[in-house]
Structure 1
Amino acid sequence: MYFPILKGKQNELIALRELSEIIDAQYIKPVVEPVRENISPLKRTIKQLADNGIIPLVVINPSLGDYAGGEDLISQFLQEEEGAYLPCVKIKSPQDSAAIGLFQSFRGRAAAYIESSVDRAMVDVINESVYTLVNPVRVSSAAFAQLRNKVVYGDFFKKEVKNSDYAEDSLFSGLHTEYREFDNVVGFGDFTILSEDYSESGGPAYVVAVHLSYINREEYDAMHVRHFSSYDDRTPTNPGGKFMDALNKLVQYVTVNPNKFTRTTGLGEFFTLHASRHYPGLGHVKKISIKHHIETTCHYIQGH
């Protein structure tokens, strides 16, 4: 099963709501860390996912965005949604006693999201979890072997400082082909075409880049990302024109390579924007790329 890890920003939540109508619940279980104090969009997303049989994991002790202080518990605001989501406790380290205590209070009815390493005492506690999200490169192999109900994840999108720095093509991950090789693993996750590092917004876009994921059949089904970048006029002006330049390159490349990309609704949205010559804003563009990535991944595991 695929556990895409998303921040609870507007376009990420919209992407999940739109995907809930088209992806079978048996292939996906999103993980959402709220970043906005206004949680009405999160509530709406939880409800729509649940209506389609998808039970998301929601980080109830978020520490990003509006919750940078790390002292708010989201669960107290989600009482009406109880049962429609699985509480997920983010644990920064074995010394994060507050988070570990919070996790223990659920008595085995929560997921654990491990950000770094674990020690013996922590393993004993979090092995009561429904799911344990863990990055295998951040824990010792001995500790990793002791964990149960594992969801292995990694930060695979190589975010560049400037959009002009993206190569045409880059390796994303092979985790979707390898996760079953681990013992006691029930799924895998990534941060889609976003980075694990959180930022409120980027700087001015001198270059607009559109990211499109695909399964590279010649590379043993590894996931790659194709980057379509606009012209660079050394100014942040005309983002709409730059988006259309990048989109022209995307449509031309996909048309010439029709079997390379999974025909997702996200990819269809890019073609629709191209036909209408419409620029919806960079946040919306990112939403479409997220949708395409998640659809591509779920389509792959559905066939395997």
Structure 2
Amino acid sequence: MYFPYLRGRQFELIAIRDLASEDALGKIIPIIEPVKESFNSLNLANKILFETGVKPFLIMNPQVGESCGDIEHYLKYIEDLENSMYRHAFIYSDNASYILDCLNNYSLNNCMVVGLDSFTNEDEFSLLCEDGRINHIVLLEPHRYRTLDRHIKKLDKNYIRLDDLFEKQQRNSDFLSIPEHKFSEEHLYYEEDNYQGFGDFTVLPREYVEGGSTPRAVVINITYINVEAENQIWIRHFTSDTNDSISNVQGKFAEATRKAISFCNELPLSNSGIDELSGYLRDTKYPGLGTVKKITIKNHLLVIKSYLDRQL
């Protein structure tokens, strides 16, 4: 099973909605860290999720965004949401008392606990993971916690390794000099390493940045299965060439898209994300950088889905 870690920004939620509508999530279970105080985008997503039967995890105590910390904002939201498809997840940050209070006060079961890099008390985390109301455990880069990792593997629960894989550059134009390279191979080995699932932050940096300025360069990050490298997931960055100013973003998008579509046609790589990107190039339209990121997320999830489907 694949557990992509997404933020609740509009374009990320639209990616989930699109794939749910296409019945294309399959063995993909999103983990969503909400970043907006408003529930509008979550409500729109939940409607599609309910219609398609998809049940992602929603972080109750996000670490970033407009309503973050050990709060009850999203707990009350799910409690009041009609036909909620969201399952409860909590980020552990030496806050077991908060999580246990939530489990008790809201009578929760079948929850997820997520260990990022914001905790120091491994013993407390171990005890929390043993709680019968926790059935999914996510740990970022578990090789850094050998004792904890070994303990969780003995609990007979759904244990997911999470990896931070995208190598962010200081400037988008820096991607011009970076050749295609290995992105991940966890899909090949997670079961062998006694994990029930694997996850990443898709083709986005783990670091959360709200908004952003007009870029000098447009980059389209495309992942694919490299059959010549034993089915590892590789990534290639397709970058615009005229990057001396912030003008003509539409032209920069066209430059990067031509490169990406040419590569995908040659590989070949085809899915609804790539088809959407190709349509914008054909119609000479610029959809905005949010939509570009949505397309690359869709492609990444569909690439992993296609591999997992072949393993049946």
The question of a shared fold, defined as TM-score above 0.5 by the shorter chain, is answered with: yes
Quote the offset at 1:286 in angstroms. 0.8
Amino acid at match of 1:88: A
For 2:148, the equivalent position in structure 1 comes to: 143
1:219 aligns with 2:229: yes
Alignment of 1:280-291 (within 5 A): 280-291=287-298
- CA deviations 1:72-128 (Å, max 9, x no partner) are 530201222465221001112xx2245443454355431111113562332122233
CA distance in 2, matches of 1:272, 1:68: 38
Counterpart-to-counterpart distance in 1, 2:57 and 2:246: 38
Cα 1:189/1:233, change in 2 over 3 Å: closer
Report how many residues are paired. 298
Say whether 1:165 aligns with 2:166: no
Do the aligned residues in 1 keep the contact of 2:58 with 2:86 (CA within 8 Å)?
yes
1:269 pairs with 273, 276, 288, which one?
276
Residue 142 of structure 1 aligns to a residue whose secondary structure is helix
Structure 2 contact 218–253 (Cα < 8 Å) conserved: yes
Alpha-carbon separation, structure 2, partners of 1:264 and 1:6: 20
Alignment match, 2:89: 88
Conserved 8 A contact 2:96-2:124? no
Further displaced range: 228-237 or 265-274:
228-237
Residue by residue, what CA displacement relative to the aligned partner does 1:200-219 show, whole Å, maximum 9, x if unpaired? 13333111111111011111
Match of 1:181 in 2: 192
Are the counterparts in 2 of residues 91 and 99 from structure 1 also a CA contact under 8 Å?
Answer: no
Residue equivalent to 1:236: 246
Larger displacement relative to structure 2 (210-219 or 17-26): 17-26
AA aligned opposite 2:139: V
Could you give the per-residue CA deviations for residues 14-35 of structure 1, whole angstroms, max 9, x where no partner exists? 1110100224554111111110
2:213 corresponds in structure 1 to 203
Q: Distance in 2 between matches of 1:270 and 1:24?
A: 18
> Aligned-residue CA RMSD in angstroms?
2.0
SS of equivalent to 2:21: coil
Which position in structure 1 is the counterpart of 2:100?
A: 101
Instruction: For 1:210, give the aligned amino acid.
Output: I
Are the equivalent residues in 1 in contact too, given 2:111–2:136 (CA < 8 A)?
yes
Gaps of 5+ in 2: none
Structure 1 stretches lacking a partner, 5+ long:
none
- CA displacement, residues 215-241 of structure 1 (integer Å, 9 cap, x when unaligned): 111111111111110013421111111
- What TM-score do the two structures reach when normalised by structure 1? 0.91
Query: 8 Å contact 1:23–1:298 — kept in the other structure?
Result: no
The answer to whether structure 1 residue 254 and structure 2 residue 261 are counterparts is no
Shift of 1:139: 4.2
Q: Using the aligned pairs only, state the percent identity.
A: 28
Higher mean C-alpha deviation, range 226-235 or range 116-125: 116-125
Q: Is contact 1:172-1:225 (8 Å) kept?
A: yes
Task: Give the TM-score, by structure 2 length.
Answer: 0.89
